[in-house]
Amino acid sequence: MTKRSRFRSSTTLLYALALIGVSAPVEAISEEEWVTTFVRFVDWPTAPPDNLIVVCQPPGAALLALHGAQVRGMTLQVVPLKRASDAERCHVFTAMSQREAEWLPLLGKFKSRPTLTLGAGPRFCEAGGAICVVKDESTGVEKYQVNLDAMARAGLKVRLQLLRHQRSGKAHAE
């Protein structure tokens, strides 16, 4: 089974779990799955050229296995941010597996840009990130929080399905 088909299989499983209202444990949700879920439920102010969504990561991060993946008819392209000026081409900035010292200096580059910023922990949203994935310590389930101020600043529109499930941990892939 290829990496891509395993990814599709796990996404299908998460979709089925979401439909029946079962929250997936922390270990079951990869950064790739979170990124595709969030891209699925966010609209940009203008359509990306050539339906290409550029997913940027901090320098030194292991590249996500999403290059060429299709979400809502758009193709994902994963690139590392080598220079701060590269931020202009990013539709998504994801730093979920990075330490704060690695993402904090970059986050400000996206404040007034139409970029979906994704990170882990409540501190990411407090610092201006759009969506942060947090672990519920009592249940071990990952959930997410949407920072509506950051989304509005970026000109991004959030679909209702994403907001409906943000505290329940259910909307991993619909």
DSSP 119-161: EESHHHHHTT-SEEEEEETTTTEEEEEE-HHHHHHHT-EE-HH
Domain ranges of the chain: 3-164
Residue 158 has pLDDT above 50, yes or no: yes
Nearest-angstrom CA–CA distance, 57 and 47: 21
Looking at residue 47, what is its pLDDT?
Answer: 87
- The predicted model gives 75-90 an average pLDDT of 90
Looking at residue 167, what is its pLDDT?
Answer: 55
Q: Which of 56-60, 131-135, 166-170 has the lowest mean pLDDT?
A: 166-170
Looking at residue 2, what is its pLDDT?
Answer: 53
What is the distance of C-alpha 141 from the center of its chain?
17
- The predicted model gives 58-80 an average pLDDT of 93
Residue 127 has pLDDT above 80, yes or no: yes
Contact call for residues 92 and 39 (beta carbons, < 8 A): yes
